[in-house]
Structure 1
Amino acid sequence: MKKFEEKTIESKEIFKGKIITLQEDIVELPNGKTSKREIIKHPGAVAVIALTEEGKIVMVEQYRKALERSIVEIPAGKLEPGEDPYDSAMRELEEETSYTCGALEHLISFYTSPGFADELVHLYLAKDVVLKENARPADEDEFVEMLHLSLEEAQEYVLHQKIYDAKTAYAVQYLLIQKLQGKR
């Protein structure tokens, strides 16, 4: 038995959408009592830290309906069924920014909201970033504006909540740590 494991007694699908599924589970707690859990199943996602030759971070600004506002983010997107995260990261970088890269380095994978969702984001660092002619077009329901921010500007965006999501704040902190360690 896993530490503090909650054994699923019953699982019921409540909603199945284009991207997510919501299920309600009845679980047995470690003390023998039962409880309900609402869980969002998500296919996973990728995010890419891309730096230009000048050391600027490639970002996109887009409207996020769940927040009812626009925020600035690193390029990112959901995994397609059966898609390798590396391939997805290359695709998302190109679709959202028209940049491509020589290689991607996987930095870390992390859960965004483990209290209620299983979404796992794979974070990559793009190497040898260049603008690509005839890049793949963005998704037809996606409207983004590209920005190039210095690390200092990105930190200001975090402080003023223009950068307001975990993956992008994580990316900015990663770059800051690298800079403080003399690696960037």
Structure 2
Amino acid sequence: MDAASENGAWVTHGERLVYESDWVRVGLADISVPSGERFEHHTVWFPPVAMAVVLDNERSSVLLSWRHRFAPNIWNWELPGGIIDPGEEPIDTVRREITEETGYRAESIKHLITFEPAVGMLRNPNHVYLAQDITLVSEPEELNEGKFRWVSRTQIPELIQSGQISNSGTLVALLHLLSISGPELADK
């Protein structure tokens, strides 16, 4: 009996790289599943990312960008954020991206959640933060990130329901925000 069938874990016997770029790696893993079957399964790696729910100082609105994504050919609302540079901590990425994309600086940045958007085949940790106590410090440097606008927290459920928020990072972050009550926001 192999390790997979004993404890329910899938066992990786090896993995080979099929394609690699700075943005994506595709591999084939030789795996065994709990039933004992052994086969190759594809894997995909994307660089880890960090994003932030930026609240206005009244904590009534969220800073979102309306932007086009060419691969799925959709327009949707997104949070500021981006790829974590080598050697950079996720919180530092968030700090940098907020200022580059929006021109704001947050005095309070707290981790909310880290998740994997497609855990069955994709390696892509998404780090989500809550940014509060903000000040406008500059004009945005990033010109390709869409147009940022303050959106009332009360509008978020309708934006989700109507499909105007369709990317996993923004969905997870905003649903998490909706689960936090008023006084808890300052402590999260």
TM-score, normalised on structure 1?
0.89
Residue in structure 2 matching 1:129, options 118, 131, 134 = 134
Percent of counterpart pairs with the same letter?
22
CA–CA distance in structure 1, aligned partners of residues 180 and 35 of structure 2: 44
Residues 109 and 132, structure 2, Cα contact 8 Å, conserved in 1: yes
Letter in 2 for 1:161: G
Please say if 1:79 is aligned against 2:84: yes
CA–CA distance in structure 2, aligned partners of residues 103 and 116 of structure 1: 34
Alignment partner, residue 184 of structure 2:
183
| TM-fit CA distance, 1:146 | 0.5
Alignment partner, residue 13 of structure 1:
17
| TM-fit CA distance, 1:171 | 2.3
| TM-fit CA distance, 1:134 | 5.3
Secondary structure at the residue paired with 2:97?
A: helix
Secondary structure at the residue paired with 2:119?
A: coil
Structure 2 runs not aligned, ≥5 long: none
CA–CA distance in structure 2, aligned partners of residues 171 and 26 of structure 1: 34
Alignment partner, residue 104 of structure 1:
109
Residues 50 and 127, structure 1, Cα contact 8 Å, conserved in 2: yes
| TM-fit CA distance, 1:42 | 2.1
- Of 51-60 and 26-35, more deviation after overlay is shown by 26-35
1:96-175 equivalences under 5 Å are: 96-133=101-138, 137-138=141-142, 142-175=144-177
Secondary structure at the residue paired with 1:18?
A: coil
Alignment partner, residue 52 of structure 1:
56
Secondary structure at the residue paired with 1:171?
A: helix
Secondary structure at the residue paired with 2:14?
A: strand
Q: Which runs of 4+ in 1 moved over 6 A?
A: none
| 1:115-147 deviations in Å (ceiling 9; x for gaps) | 111111111011211111255x11x6x341101
Residues 60 and 96, structure 1, Cα contact 8 Å, conserved in 2: no
Alignment partner, residue 28 of structure 2:
24
Structure 1 runs not aligned, ≥5 long: none
Q: Count how many residue pairs are aligned between Structure 1 and Structure 2.
A: 180
Letter in 1 for 2:156: A
Residues 78 and 167, structure 2, Cα contact 8 Å, conserved in 1: yes
Residues 26 and 35, structure 1, Cα contact 8 Å, conserved in 2: yes
Residues 52 and 130, structure 1, Cα contact 8 Å, conserved in 2: no
Letter in 1 for 2:176: Y
Residues 9 and 27, structure 1, Cα contact 8 Å, conserved in 2: yes
| 1:41-77 deviations in Å (ceiling 9; x for gaps) | 1221111011112421001122112211111011121
Please say if 1:63 is aligned against 2:68: yes
Letter in 2 for 1:183: E
